[in-house]
Amino acid sequence: MKKIQLKGDVVSDNVGKLFDWYDLDSIYPGNVKRSLEAAGSEDVEITLTTNGGSVFAGQEIYDIIKNHEGKTTVKLSGLVASIGTLITCAFDEVLVSPVSTFMIHNPTLADVSGEKKD
C-alpha cells in the first residue's frame, strides 16, 4: 500500500506550482494525479488535512481519486473543511481521527457575505 500525505489549501494547478516554488503546502490536481499515477493500480492510503479552497480544483481532485484503479483510503487528520469534505467522498474507505474536525457548510460566494437563505 502506497502512503501519501495531502496537506494545505486546495488550489488550481498554476497556483499549486507557485506554492511548490516557495515550498508551501498545497493540494492541487496535478500533484494528486502524479502521486496516484506513481502508485499504479496499488492501493493507496492518503492522510488529508485541509482548510478547503478552490471548488473547481476540488471537483477535479475528486474525479482523479474516484478513477484510481486500486482501493483508496483516506485518514482525516486535523481539520478537513469545505471542499475537503467533497474530496473525502471520493474514497472507498474513510478513517477519522477522534480529534479531527470535519466541517461542512452551505455554499458561499467569494466576496459575498452570507448564504443562500440570507
CATH of the domain at 67: 3.90.226.10
Number of independent structural domains in the chain: 1
Q: Encode 10-19: b = buried (16+ Cβ within 10 Å), e = exposed.
A: bbbeebbeeb
Whether residue 113 is contained in a domain is answered as no
CB 44 within 8 A of CB 65: no
pLDDT for the residue numbered 110: 63
Whether residue 109 is contained in a domain is answered as no
Low-confidence ranges of the chain (pLDDT < 70): 109-116, 118
pLDDT for the residue numbered 105: 85
Q: pTM above 0.85?
A: yes
**Residue 15, φ and ψ in degrees, nearest 5:** -70, -40
The residue segments making up the domain with residue 98 are 2-103
Please report, as a single letter, which amino acid is at residue 89: C
* Grid coordinates belonging to 87: 474530496
Whether residue 108 is contained in a domain is answered as no
What is the number of residues in the chain? 118
Residue 101, beta-bridge partner list: 79
pLDDT for the residue numbered 109: 66
